[in-house]
Structure 1
Amino acid sequence: MQEIKENTNQTPLSEIVHQAVDAAKAQQIVSLPVSHLTSVTDHMIICTGSSNRHMQHLADTAKDAVQQHGAEVLGTEGMNSDEWIIVDCGDVVLHVMSAEAREFYHLEGLWDIKEMTD
C-alpha cells in the first residue's frame, strides 16, 4: 500500500481522501464540488469497492489518512453494509459503494447539476 505523506503543504482534505482511496485500489473515483449546492459539505467523493471487505478497507484507509493529517472524522455509516459506506469528514463526505448500488442510486447525477442540465 502506498503511504500518504504528512500534510505539510496544507493539502485539501478532498485530495487527501482521494489519494487514500486511490492508493487502496478504489474503482471509478469521482470528486464532486458541491458547496454551491449544499451547506452540508464542500466535496462528495464517490468510489466503488469490489467486495464488502474491500469497501471496509477503503473506508478505513480514508479515515486513517484524514486522522493522520490532523483532521477529524465526524462519523461513519454502513461499515457492515454490502452496498454503501459513508465516511463524513465535514468538508468532505466519502461514499464507498458496491457497483450495483452505485448504478442504482447514481449519485453523480444527483449532485452534478451540469450533468442534469446537459
Structure 2
Amino acid sequence: MDIRKLQRAIIDGLEDVKAQDIKVFNTSHLTELFDRVIVASGTSNRQTKALASSVREKVKEAGGDIISTEGEDIGEWVLVDCGDAVVHILQPALRQYYNLEEIWGDKPVRIKLAATTGFMGARPSEPMDEEDEIEDEAPVAARKAPAKKTAAKSSAKPAAKPAAKSATKPGAKPAAKKTAARKPAAKSAGAPARKTAARRSAGK
C-alpha cells in the first residue's frame, strides 16, 4: 500500500475521534521495519481505545492491513501496527514522559489536518497542497550552519594568504639588494689593492 495513502487513512481515523496533537515522522532512515511513526494523544482510556478502533477501520477501508494492536486492554498507551506505519496513541502524561518525538522525530512529515485547516505546523493562511514530506525547520537551519562556517573559513583564508606573501616578499627583496650591494664593494676594494702590488713589483 502506498505510504501516503496509508498515512492519510490513519490521520482520517484519528481525526474522526478528535485525537489531539497528531504528529507524523519519517523513519525510513532509522529502521527497515516501518517508514512512518504517527503519534497522537487521547484524553482518556476510552478515547485512546476508540482512536485505535477508528484507525483500524480506516486502514482496512483503504485496503491496508493491521498487523497487531497492543495496549488496548488498559488504554493508557495503545499501539496499532499498520505494517509500514506504526501508530502510538497515548494519554498526555505518558506521551510527555516517554517523549517518542525525541526518538523518532528528526524528520517530521508535514500533513494536512482538518482540525487546523492547513498543514501540520503551518499557518492556516498557507496553501494546502498534497501531503509533502519535508524536514523540520530546525534541522534545515542546522544544516545551513556548517555552510556558514565553511564560508567564513574560505573568506578567512584569502585574507591570510596575502598577509603571508607580503611578509615574505618584502623581507626577501631587501636581502637580495644587500647581497648585490656587497659584491661590487668587495670587487672595488680588491682591485686597487692588486694594482698597488703590481706597481710595487714593477718599480723594484
Instruction: Output the TM-score relative to the length of structure 1.
Output: 0.84
Of Structure 1 and Structure 2, which has the larger fraction of its residues in strand? 1
Alignment of 1:39-118 (within 5 A): 39-113=32-106
**Contact 1:52-1:80 within 8 A present in 2 as well:** no
Q: Tell me: higher relative CO, structure 1 or 2? Use CA pairs within 8 A at least 6 residues apart.
A: 1
Alpha-carbon RMSD? 2.0
Aligned match for 2:14, one of 3, 18, 21 = 21
After TM superposition, the runs of 4+ consecutive aligned structure 1 residues lying more than 3 A away are none
Instruction: Name the larger-Rg structure.
Output: 2
Sequence identity (%): 34
**Post-superposition offset of 1:11:** 5.4
CA distance in 2, matches of 1:42, 1:11: 10
Q: Deviations 1:44-100 (Å, cap 9, x if unpaired)?
A: 100000100000000000000011111110000000224210000001100000111
**2:25–2:106 Cα contact (<8 Å) kept:** no
Q: Distance in 2 between matches of 1:28 and 1:19?
A: 14
SS at match of 1:93: strand
1:38 corresponds in structure 2 to 31
Q: State the TM-score, normalized to the length of structure 2.
A: 0.50
Paired residues, number: 109
SS at match of 2:65: coil
| Stretches of structure 2 lacking an aligned partner (at least 5 in a row) | 108-135, 143-204
Structure 1 residues 104 and 11 mapped into 2: Cα distance closer, same or farther (>3 Å)? closer
Structure holding more helix per residue: 2
